[in-house]
Amino acid sequence: MSLSARNRLQGTVTNVETEGLMAEVTVELGDGQEVTAIITSGSVDRLGLAEGDEVSAVVKATEVMVETE
């Protein structure tokens, strides 16, 4: 199974907060940077997401912006 989304960042779930229909999942990458995902509580249940899980944060390339300093 393979998905067209270009970005798949591997990391570890460090927090899962569920409230109503929505959930906030924090994933820590290998270099210590964090990615926050807002997904449905239904998906958290279906995937059984919990702290410590090895996951990927997946993002379609058209959703990524670039910021210069």
Tell me the C-alpha distance between 45 and 22, whole Å.
11
Task: Return residues touching its own copies (CB under 8 A).
Answer: 1-10, 13, 17, 19-25, 27, 29-40, 42-44, 46-49, 53-69
Q: CB of residue 52 vs its own copies: minimum separation in angstroms?
A: 12
Provide, rounded to whole angstroms, the least separation between the CB of residue 44 and its own copies: 8
Q: How far is the C-alpha of 43 from the C-alpha of 40, rounded, in Å? A: 5
* 67 torsion bin: left (phi>0), alpha (psi -120 to 50), beta (else): beta
Q: Nearest distance from residue 54's CB to its own copies, in Å?
A: 6
